[in-house]
Structure 1
Amino acid sequence: MIRFVLCALALTLSGFVRAQSAGTPDAQAVSVPPATPFTAEMVEKGREQFHRTCAQCHGRNMVNSGTTVYDLRKFPTEQRDRFYTSVTNGKGNMPSFKGALEPGAIELLWSYVATRGGKEL
């Protein structure tokens, strides 16, 4: 009887661990739309979205010390998929914006971040 209870407990826990790991940000697939060339208008709309959504943690115009939150001025511009995944699923202390931001809004944010606020347009 004890052996049966231990086996049942082990199976339950292994299912719980699998369910927990399936819910981690890296495990959740994100649909990333095709990239489009950045325009000055996109970057400006991205700046506006950034200040509504991201500036309270990542700093106005992306300026922060980088000690408590990620310094987005250093985000690798070749890692667009990673940006979408982080914004959609959250990462570390950053909350998920899944359902709160449409892919179009995330693309505007990406245009702002990837061009370093329009400096690399």
Structure 2
Amino acid sequence: MKKLFAFLVVAVTLLGFAIQPPALADANLASGSQVFAANCNACHMGGKNVIMANKTLSKADLAKYLKGFSDDAQAAIAYQVTNGKNAMPAFKGRLTPTQIEDVSAYVLSKAEKGW
């Protein structure tokens, strides 16, 4: 019985190390929220878009308008934040790579929850 218990403990421990958490867990959502409030909220409050009303931050619109969203949603959002497009300014140089990762994770998290 002790051997079975020891085996189970080892198996669960190894499984815990083997399974990688999703990318959202790596990003700091609290920091992302602060970055969003300071840099994005003016145009995207509540996931809306005051410049182009049809291009919101809803998951459906992100999937529709961001290249590569279906392959890696957070990377597609980060690319948009970094490089901008049309009316959206590029934040490369204004935000650190960590801030861009955090705000991208925050936007994806909110989009998945429906804002």
With the shorter chain as reference, the TM-score category is 0.5 to 0.7
Q: Which runs of 5+ in 1 are unaligned?
A: 1-34
Amino acid of the residue matched to residue 32 of structure 2? G
Distance 2:40 2:54 in 1: 11
Is contact 1:88–1:96 with CA below 8 Å preserved after alignment? yes
Normalising by structure 1, what TM-score? 0.55
CA drift of 1:119 comes to 4.2
Q: In structure 2, give the amino acid aligned to 1:88.
A: T
Q: Give, in angstroms, the shift of residue 118 of structure 1.
A: 8.3
Displacement after TM superposition at 1:55 (Å) = 0.4
Structure 1 residue 81, shift from structure 2 partner = 2.6
* Distance in structure 1 (CA, Å) of the matches to 2:30 and 2:104: 11
Unaligned 5+ runs, structure 2: 1-20, 64-68
Task: Find the partner of 1:54 among 27, 40, 59.
Answer: 40
> 19, 24, 41: which is aligned to 1:38?
24
CA RMSD of aligned residues (A): 3.2
Find out whether 1:108 has 2:102 as its counterpart: yes
**Hey, what does 2:76 align to over in structure 1?**
82
Query: Counterpart of 1:93 in 2: which secondary structure?
Result: coil
Count of aligned positions? 85
Classify 1:82/1:119 alpha carbon distance in 2 versus 1 (closer, same or farther; 3 Å).
Answer: closer
Higher helix share: 2
Cα 1:79–1:96 change in 2 (3 A) is same
Cα distance in 2 for partners of 1:67, 1:95 equals 13
Structure 1 residue 80: deviation in Å? 2.5
Paired AA for residue 47 in structure 2: M
- CA deviation after TM superposition for structure 1 residue 68, in Å: 3.0
Q: In the alignment, residue 73 of structure 1 is paired with which amino acid? A: S
Preserved contact between residue 43 and residue 50 of structure 2 (Cα < 8 Å):
no
Q: Which moved more, 1:68-77 or 1:42-51?
A: 68-77
